[in-house]
Chain A
Amino acid sequence: MGLKIPCPRCGPRPFSEFAFGGEVRGGRSPDPEGDFRRVYLRANAPGPQRERWFHAFGCRRWLVVRRDTVTNRIDPDEGDGLD
């Protein structure tokens, strides 16, 4: 329990060690077409969303988690840790 973020390298750590990187909006490859969507159209939906966090006071790497924007329940992402 608690507002901890599971870092795949450092384990679960208090969220205050992390910087928020926004919801995952694609962009795995440079994509002039997808850019517009990614920059201007954000889901901002209540409920679970995949989002990026930067472990600023830890391994200084990015990671992806699932967070429920209503309850703040945070679970690790099943993916490869990248968005």
Chain B
Amino acid sequence: MAWIEFEGRRVRIEAGDTVASALFRHGVRTFTRSIKSHRRRGLTCLTGDCANCLVRVDDEPGMRSCITPARDGMRVEREGGVPSVERDLLAALDRLHPLLPVGFYSKTFIRPRLAWTVAERLIRGATGIGRLPTGVRPRISQVRHLHVEVLVIGAGVAGLSAALSASEGGRSVLLCDEGEPGWLVAPGPTIERICSLAEAVQRAASITTLWHHAAVGIYEGPLVPLAGPERLVHVHPERVVVATGALESLQTFRGNDLPGVWLGRGAARLAGRHGLSPGRRAVIVAETAEALEHLGALGSSGSKLVAVVASDEIPAPTAGARVIRGGAVMAALGRRGVRAVVIRTERGSERIACDTLVLSTRRFPRDALLRMAADLPPSGEAVVGAGEVVAPGCSLDEAEQSGALAGRGEAVPISEPPAPGLGAEGLVCPCEDVSVADLERAWEEGWRSSEILKRYTTATMGPCRGALCGWALAAFARARGADALASARTTARPPARPVRLEQLAAGVHEVVEKRTGLHHLHVSRGARVDWSGRWKRPFTYGDWRDEHRAVRERVSLMDVGTLGKFLIGGPDGRELLERVLPCRVESLEPGRCRYVVVLDEGGYVMDDGILCALGDGRAYLTSTSGGAERMEAWLRGWADRWGLRAHIVDRTSALGAINVAGPRARELLSRLTDDPVDASAFPYGAHRHLTVAGVPCRAIRVGFVGELSFELHHPRSRGFELWTALEQSGADLGVRPHGLDALDVLRLEKGHPYLGQDTLPDDHPDKLGLGWTVAMDKPWFVGRVALQRMRELPLERRLVGLELDGDASSLRGMPLALDGRVVGRVTSCALSPALGRSIGLGWLRAVDGGFPQVLRAGSAQARVVPTPFYDPEGVRVRA
């Protein structure tokens, strides 16, 4: 025997039970409390469309119990209500309803301003349903992408038939449903039709089915996300058939939200599928032919039918019950649930004692998805409806026919939804406790269109997203003479069905993780490896100060294989570079290299790197690790535009790179190579081919860290042997690797900015003190015109070197203040081991035409000083 745990009690569950049916059998009638007035709410639709049965299941709040299958061991609790849903002291709020009119908060808490801060806390405590689980690790959802020709949403009669006809000729079809075919339908002719169609679907080879996946929206593309139990599925179909059916309308009368008021299909399902009678004495409102089926189901479940309020088109139902023709429900009375209903008859009004009121009323399309699509030309043209969603109240044959046409992509007959009549009392929007009277008051105040009424009263903003009340709101405006636009349905927006927050975040964790060829080596050396952009890189191998010392005093290795690396050749290769780079490319002799900044068309610094001139007119260009992909696209874009015959070969992942840096770097290299590495043969600013430990390398002599250094670019597959050879033969020199933590301080001591960290998107070279990299005497390069114009203006911001008091290593991000005014920000800082004081970089705004020299960063004094801080003459790097 299976059980669920319900508020400390054990509740037996039977085969086919949902959480709702198990609780109902157990005697639960009040499932939740309404959001504002704390009115009792019980089962109503049983199709997942209303918000009257939301419970907490296994700590997940807001679960629709009527469509959540019951499983052994589930923990179920009701939400809302103080202290409990059954005994809710806040229900007193309901009696205060007349004192809390629509717009109450915005009218009441305007003055004094502080009142709202106090009131908000009280109000937030009293309203709303459910608590967010705390201390629970989110279940990270994954995303799956599916490309199909036809997506059919909804596996009712129309949807199944649409899938079948769409699959003719082998077209790929995906059929999804929030549940399974027929799972919400009471026994009867409908379910028989569904079963036979579902069998045919199962046999069709080109139809894929996804049960328990609800379409939450339709986006441009069309793109349809389906929320499933485990993951989110992004469907990219060519065409979409929406067959989401229709929903009975909740009539408006006093007490229309009392537990015991049912929509017809809900009551029939409880009776027919779960064998539970909704109550002992039932009154049924029969507006449609389907009501006869509902009557049958109720009768066989043991409910006694006391009265049938039938419209004239409905044939007289079977004997037993009294038939009231042309009547209408005026009110449902009762406190904990329905005790009696008041019916208006020809002879006046009459009170009938009962505990159940079943509304087998006219149906309105569940058309949120269709309306979303209608706002999306041209993607929306690929979305059509079939069955009741476009022809509410149609017969089974009509639904099947409609699905078949839609599946083939042919036009589907459409019929207007019925015009709903609105009563004078009762709730229009049970989710948000908005009554007819509230709408009337808002209308009187001048809010005279459905969209504005929605915003003012919050009708249609509840968990059901207007499924129950959207039609009524539009009808209300129409009945008062609003024109077509002002009485239109309000805009439908995703999600049409509830989605877990984790599902909204699905996919964000599936980032590309890039590793260099030396990744495992770093890990085996004890490196702390972490994200740096899309790369996983070593930050430290233990003690960054020790690594720093190795670079400054001995020799150290760093994996810089993440740098962008490009080979540029072809007859017009040099010409391309000359045009896109702001420096002189022509004058760079083979064997020499140069630091370059790359400007975008606006004259702003986009990236930087090293340009090496190769012997045969080709060039080798590096970029920052994060800028590699953009650099390739950018170079190609210009080459295409100008029709230049230039080859751009992205070598980023084909080559690895190891920087050998430190005063003893040359000594280490000379042990492993026969090629000359002395200062005269291989000076600073040069690059050479070296064979190091048998590995062919392009060695580049520049120095980001400010020491003698050789950047060895090598075939990625040989990185491991190169690295280990350097480690081994440098053991007596005290060689050790350094990571990003040490690098951050090393480059800061040299005053080198990190693009992106120390810079802003609109930094031109002058603002960064990099004006010297730009050859303005070149007639043209990308960004030149813009830069020239900017240079005519006074510099309004500058990146400056800072010297700070005390240990300022945690001041990154701190505003720079002058007499209490913020005039800049610290972008990098560290306690420099080489200098023994705190240094930093930061940007500074001009004040009265000049740049202030002394500022405050938090409690520390910050003085503007020239950079580099370390070895300003660059003697060490040129060694």
Contact pick for B239, options A1, A3, A39, A60, CB 8 Å: A1
Q: Mark A22-51, 1 if CB is under 8 A from B, else 0.
A: 000001111010011011000000000000
- Which chain B positions have C-beta within 8 A of A60? 632-633, 636, 650
From B379, B579, B784, contact of A72 by CB (8 A)? B379
* Nearest-Cβ distance from residue B217 to partner chain A, whole angstroms: 15
Closest chain A CB from B424 CB (angstroms): 44
| Docked-complex contact B579 and A30, CB < 8 angstroms | yes
CB-CB under 8 A from A83, the residues of chain B are 641
The answer to whether residues A3 and B780 also contact, given A27-B641, A39-B601 and a CB cut-off of 8 A, is no
B221 adjacent to A19 (CB under 8 Å):
no
Query: Does B850 touch A at the CB level, under 8 Å?
Result: no
- How many angstroms between the C-alpha atoms of A73 and B382 in the bound complex? 12
List of A residues within 8 angstroms of B654 by Cβ:
none
CB neighbours of A82 from chain B (8 A): 640-641, 643
Q: Is B640 in contact with A39, judged by CB distance below 8 angstroms?
A: no
Say yes or no: is A52 at the interface (Cβ < 8 Å to chain B). Answer: yes
Q: Mark each residue of chain B from 342 to 356: 1 if its CB lies under 8 Å from any CB of chain A, else 0.
A: 000000000000000
In this complex, what residue of A is CB-closest to B380? Answer: A71
The answer on a CB contact under 8 Å between B221 and A3 is yes
Interface residues as binary, B613-640 with A (CB distance below 8 Å gives 1, 0 otherwise): 0000000000000000100110011001
Minimum CB–CB distance from A3 to chain B (whole Å) comes to 4
Tell me whether A28 and B633 are in contact (CB under 8 A): no
Which residues of chain B have C-beta atoms less than 8 A from A30's C-beta?
Answer: 579, 642, 780
- Cβ-based interface call for B28 (8 A): no
Q: Which of B762-785 contact A (CB under 8 A)?
A: 779-780, 784-785
Which of these, B220, B641, B643, B785, contacts A36 with CB under 8 Å? B785
Chain B residues positioned under 8 Å from A28 (CB to CB): 641-643
Distance to closest chain B CB from A25 (angstroms):
9
Candidates A14, A29, A52; contact of B637 at CB < 8 Å:
A52
> Does B381 reach chain A (CB closer than 8 Å)?
yes
Q: Are A19 and B643 also in contact (CB < 8 A) when A1-B382, A2-B238 are?
A: no
Q: Which of B351-383 contact A (CB under 8 A)?
A: 377-379, 381-382
A74 and B637 CA atoms in complex are apart in Å by 21
With a cutoff of 8 Å between Cβ atoms, the chain B residues found around residue A29 in the complex are 642
Q: Are B641 and A2 within 8 A (Cβ)?
A: no
Contact with A along B596-612 (1 / 0, CB 8 A): 00000110000000000
Most chain A CB within 10 A, of B147, B601, B785, is at B785
Please give, as numbers and ranges, the residues of chain A lying within 8 Å of B237 by CB-CB distance.
2
C-alpha spacing A32/B239, complex, angstroms: 48
Residues of B within 8 A of A32 (CB): 779-780, 784-785
Residue of A nearest to B648 (CB): A60
Whether B260 sits at the interface, judged by CB under 8 Å, is no
- In the complex, what's the smallest C-beta–C-beta distance from B381 to chain A, in angstroms? 7
Q: Determine how close the nearest CB of chain A comes to the CB of B578; give it in whole angstroms.
A: 10
* Set B221, B377, B784, B786: member contacting A71, Cβ < 8 A: B377
Q: Whole-angstrom distance between the alpha carbons of A39 and B850 in the complex?
A: 30
Whether a CB of chain A sits under 8 angstroms from the CB of B236 is yes
Give the residue of A56, A62, A71 whose beta carbon is less than 8 angstroms from that of B629. A56
Chain A residues whose CB sits within 8 angstroms of the CB of B259 once the complex forms: none
- A1 proximity list for chain B (CB < 8 A): 222, 238-239, 378-379, 381-382
Contact residues of B between 812 and 837, Cβ < 8 Å to A: none
Decide: A2 and B786 in contact? CB cutoff 8 A.
no
Task: Select one of A38, A52, A61, A72 contacting B378, CB under 8 A.
Answer: A72
- Give the CA-CA distance A71 to B699 in the complex, in Å: 53
**0/1 interface trace, chain A 51-83, chain B, CB 8 Å (1 if under):** 010101000111000000001110000000011
CB–CB B602/A39 < 8 A? yes
| C-alpha spacing A11/B641, complex, angstroms | 21
CB distance from A59 to the nearest CB of B (A): 10
Question: Complex Cα distance A62/B639, Å?
Answer: 10
- Chain A residue at smallest Cβ distance from B602: A39
**With contacts A30-B780, A60-B632 known, is A2 near B382, CB below 8 A?**
yes
- Which one of B377, B629, B784 lies within 8 Å of A35 (CB-CB)? B784
| Known A3-B221, A28-B642, A71-B378: A54·B785 in contact at CB below 8 Å | no
Is B633 touching A38 in the complex (CB atoms < 8 A)? no
Of all chain B residues, the one with the shortest Cβ separation from A81 is B640
Cβ contact within 8 Å between B637 and A21: yes
- Which residues of chain A are near B221, meaning CB under 8 Å? 2-3, 14-15
Most buried by A among B629, B632, B640: B640
Cβ–Cβ contact A35 & B601, under 8 A:
yes
* Cβ contact within 8 Å between A54 and B637: yes
- Determine whether the beta carbon of A62 is less than 8 Å from that of B640: yes
Known contacts being A30-B579, A36-B785, is A73 close to B636, with CB within 8 Å?
A: no
Using CB atoms, name the residue of chain A closest to B632.
A60
Q: Report the bound CA distance from A14 to B223 in whole Å.
A: 10
**Chain A nearest CB, measured from B731 CB (Å):** 43
By beta carbon, the residue of chain A nearest B383 is A1
**CB-CB < 8 A to B786: which residues of A?**
35-36, 39
CA distance A60 to B629 in the complex (A): 10
For A82, the closest partner residue in chain B by CB is B640
A56 vs chain B, min Cβ distance (A): 7
Residues of A within 8 A of B220 (CB): 3, 72
Instruction: With both chains docked as a complex, state the minimum distance between the C-beta of A61 and any C-beta of chain B, in angstroms.
Output: 7
Alpha-carbon distance between A56 and B236 when the two chains are bound, in angstroms:
19
**List of A residues within 8 angstroms of B378 by Cβ:** 1, 71-73
- Provide the residues of chain B in CB contact with A3, threshold 8 Å: 220-221, 223, 379
- Contact A2 to B222, CB < 8 A, known contacts A54-B633, A54-B637, A56-B629: yes
* Distance in angstroms between the alpha carbons of A52 and B637 in the assembled complex: 9
Residue picked from A2, A3, A82, A83, most chain B C-beta under 10 Å: A2
- 1/0 per residue A3-17: CB within 8 Å of B? 100000000001100
CA distance A73 to B602 in the complex (A): 30
Nearest A residue to B575 via CB reads A30
Q: Which residues of B contact A62 (CB under 8 A)?
A: 633, 636-637, 640
What residues of B have a CB within 8 angstroms of the CB of A38 in the complex?
Answer: 601
Query: How far is it, in angstroms, between the C-alpha of A32 and the C-alpha of B223 when the chains are bound?
Result: 43
Going nearest first, the 8 A-B pairs with the smallest beta carbon separation are A35-B785, A1-B382, A3-B221, A71-B377, A54-B633, A39-B601, A73-B378, A30-B780
With A1-B381, A21-B633, A72-B220 given, can you name 12 additional A-B contacts, CB distance below 8 Å? A1-B239, A2-B221, A28-B641, A29-B642, A30-B642, A52-B637, A54-B633, A60-B632, A60-B636, A62-B640, A72-B378, A82-B643
- Chain B residues in the interface with A (C-beta under 8 A): 147, 220-223, 236-239, 377-379, 381-382, 579, 601-602, 629, 632-633, 636-637, 640-643, 650, 779-780, 784-786, 789
30 inter-chain pairs at a CB distance below 8 angstroms, sorted by A residue, are A1-B222, A1-B238, A1-B379, A1-B381, A2-B221, A2-B222, A2-B236, A2-B238, A3-B223, A14-B221, A15-B221, A21-B633, A27-B641, A29-B642, A30-B579, A30-B642, A32-B779, A32-B784, A35-B601, A38-B601, A39-B785, A39-B786, A54-B633, A60-B633, A62-B633, A62-B640, A71-B377, A72-B379, A73-B378, A83-B641
